[in-house]
Structure 1
Amino acid sequence: MIDVQRLAVLREVSRRGSFNQAAQALHCTPSAVSQQVAALERGLGAPVVERSTRGVTLTDAGRLLVEAADAIAAELADTQQRIARLTAERTALTVATFASGGRRLLPSVLAGFAADHPEVELTVLEAEPEESLPAVREGRADLALAYHFAGPPPARPGDRSGLDWTALGEDPLRVVLPRRHPAAARHRERPEAPHLAELADQRWILGCRKSADQLAHHAELAGVELRICCTATDYEFAQSLVRAGIGIALIPEIGLSRHPDLVALPLAEPGPRRHLGLALARRRRGRGRAARLAEDLASRLVAGGTGED
């Protein structure tokens, strides 16, 4: 294999016409230049220069090598400039997301966005809405995939939140049961959503504390009191406890694991649900490259809705 460094030395010898002048240009000794050229010749098995008292001239093989060295040097210089431009134009974009939304909604959208915008340095932060929305408002994130439960969205036109909110759709909470559970069997025979009162005697596993608040609210509306046996902070963990027969769980639809041993049933209306959306800083909308890229990414999420990847 031809050594690229030795090619560079030969190229300098060709340009300067002597080992001494090439050595000065390369900041080394004439002996070092001579050794590099000799090593190149040994590797090729052919002379690349002809030495004389008047200096050195290239052989046919040497001329071919210098042509190749010129092409390589040009390609490397062009690549260096392109890398410099790429680095100079690189824009940082930070996306905050809650865990289940990030796992189910973001990957395919981010993959398409990264392919179309290779100059963007993407950072993803996992954060619940109470953390991600202030991060967008304060400039620590460019946009947030977030949610809220019943009531108004976290930002409305003209309010003082400093945010613009774009609704993505609803994420209903489902009751997750073992496939052999009697309620699952009844649903197969009579596919109607069960009322919460029908499941009041069950042990309940909650995937997060916010689910506990929602379940308590709907249990109060139904006039029942539920037995909570576990409040977890991870939906996968909660569903693993359901598979183990510890109880049944209340899980948002986009947090479902789709395990063959589990069944996810809707609750009769009005059932608990999350409302998904995107938050952008109002002061940055349309201003600057990062803001425009954030809007591009937001439009992709809106187009994708709450469908699974």
Structure 2
Amino acid sequence: MIDVQRLRVLRAVAEHGSFNRAATALHLTPSAISQHVAALERSLGAQVVARSTRGVTLTQAGRIMVGAAESVAAELEHAKRRVDQLSTGRVRLTIATFTSGGRLLLPGALARLMAAHSRTVLHVREGEPEDTLPLVRQGAVDVALAYHFDGPLPVGPGPSSGMEWIPLLEDPLHVVLPETRRLVGSDVLDLAELAAEPWVLGCLKTEAYLRRYAERAGFAPEVRGTTTDYFFARSLVAAGMGISLIPSIALAPEIPGLRTVPIKLPRPIRHIGAVTISRSDRPHVTTLVRALREQALQQGQ
């Protein structure tokens, strides 16, 4: 039988990339980490990590076991919550969200959830998808509001992960520019028309996305500022620093002196959805996902 503690150790090694950092995270010694990994390898009859002077990497067998470790951790967390529900009569639900999506969709959806399940204890945490989706897979988060652009999710749901992606909204990106700019009279803009413009952007992923689209349009954008807040980015546009690329749901509240212009097809789009662990015995999660869909439909009307 495989020891659960050894799986936990392997997960930490995979996450931190070395025995020393895994030891620090688990409050163990590097020697204890090495012994747990060696014992796991003996029980499996296969090597799970490849050691080098630069750290450790997972073997194919190791990757399989880390996936199993995450599934076990999620099951144990789910069981713990069910036991807690037996003793308290309350269901605890943890929701993770990125800022703009949470501001738009969560308040109405949570109100619907509480109307149907008034004794639910809610916890909301903010974070980007690359940070929150692993927590869904591990069972620490029940539902995550997430997004992706034209590539895959940071942690792709699929048959091996047990994660489910529920699409909610398509969120086109728009050009935001001062009303004094020469392009404000256009009803729609081609990115190639913006080749000479400086940019200030609201997140690092938007910058990477802009650079990909700009390369297709034949230019390299001059980025003069990158923030972690779309409102701040628009404020810098209003101050005359440049123009910006902003998702539709991050265009409110309005800032005087700015104009928003759609981009010609094929326009860049941010895809917003909810991510859960596929499971049929979680009525509170089902209610919340339904409420998120209803809230998203309202926004699209």
Question: Secondary structure of 1:280's partner?
Answer: strand
Q: How many residues align?
A: 214
Q: 1:292 and 2:256 equivalent?
A: no
Gaps of 5+ in 1: 1-84
TM superposition score normalised by structure 2: 0.67
1:30 equivalent in structure 2? none
Aligned counterparts of 1:292 and 1:114: Cα–Cα separation in 2: 13
How far the C-alpha of 1:155 sits from its partner, in A, is: 4.4
**Alignment partner for residue 263 of structure 1, among 259, 264, 284?**
259
**Contact 1:207–1:251 (Cα < 8 Å) also in 2:** yes
Q: Kindly provide the CA deviation profile for residues 167-208 of structure 1, in whole angstroms up to 9, marking residues without a partner as x.
A: 112111111112332211x22xxx2x1111111111101100
Change (3 A) 1:228 1:293: same
**Contact 1:170–1:276 (Cα < 8 Å) also in 2:** yes
How far the C-alpha of 1:230 sits from its partner, in A, is: 0.3
The amino acid across from 1:277 in the alignment is G
How far the C-alpha of 1:87 sits from its partner, in A, is: 8.6
How far the C-alpha of 1:308 sits from its partner, in A, is: 3.9
Identical amino acids, percent of aligned pairs: 44
The amino acid across from 1:177 in the alignment is L
1:216 equivalent in structure 2? 211
**Contact 1:168–1:302 (Cα < 8 Å) also in 2:** yes
Aligned counterparts of 2:93 and 2:265: Cα–Cα separation in 1: 40
Aligned counterparts of 1:307 and 1:211: Cα–Cα separation in 2: 26
How far the C-alpha of 1:229 sits from its partner, in A, is: 0.3
Q: How does 1:229-268 map to 2 (within 5 A)?
A: 229-257=224-252, 258-268=254-264
Q: 1:272 and 2:268 equivalent?
A: yes
**Contact 1:168–1:305 (Cα < 8 Å) also in 2:** yes
Aligned counterparts of 1:234 and 1:152: Cα–Cα separation in 2: 23
How far the C-alpha of 1:86 sits from its partner, in A, is: 12
Q: How does 1:170-181 map to 2 (within 5 A)?
A: 170-181=170-181
Change (3 A) 1:91 1:248: same
Q: Kindly provide the CA deviation profile for residues 273-293 of structure 1, in whole angstroms up to 9, marking residues without a partner as x.
A: 1111111112xx122xxx220
Aligned counterparts of 1:308 and 1:246: Cα–Cα separation in 2: 31
Q: Kindly provide the CA deviation profile for residues 196-234 of structure 1, in whole angstroms up to 9, marking residues without a partner as x.
A: 111111110110000011100001000112110001111
Aligned counterparts of 1:209 and 1:115: Cα–Cα separation in 2: 38
Work out which of the two has the higher radius of gyration on C-alpha atoms and give 1 or 2. Answer: 1
Q: 1:281 and 2:277 equivalent?
A: yes
Question: Secondary structure of 1:265's partner?
Answer: strand
1:9 equivalent in structure 2? none
**Contact 1:208–1:231 (Cα < 8 Å) also in 2:** yes
Q: 1:304 and 2:295 equivalent?
A: yes
1:94 equivalent in structure 2? 94
Aligned counterparts of 1:138 and 1:205: Cα–Cα separation in 2: 36
**Contact 1:218–1:271 (Cα < 8 Å) also in 2:** no
2:114 equivalent in structure 1? 114
How far the C-alpha of 1:306 sits from its partner, in A, is: 5.9
Question: Secondary structure of 2:241's partner?
Answer: coil
**Contact 1:105–1:307 (Cα < 8 Å) also in 2:** no
1:169 equivalent in structure 2? 169
1:205 equivalent in structure 2? 200
Q: How does 1:61-210 map to 2 (within 5 A)?
A: 88-152=88-152, 155=156, 159-184=159-184, 186-187=185-186, 191=187, 193-210=188-205
Question: Secondary structure of 1:182's partner?
Answer: coil
Change (3 A) 1:131 1:307: farther
TM superposition score normalised by structure 1: 0.65
How far the C-alpha of 1:300 sits from its partner, in A, is: 1.1
Structure 1 stretch 235-244 or stretch 298-307: which is displaced more?
Answer: 298-307
**Contact 1:95–1:123 (Cα < 8 Å) also in 2:** yes
Gaps of 5+ in 2: 1-84
Aligned counterparts of 1:108 and 1:260: Cα–Cα separation in 2: 28
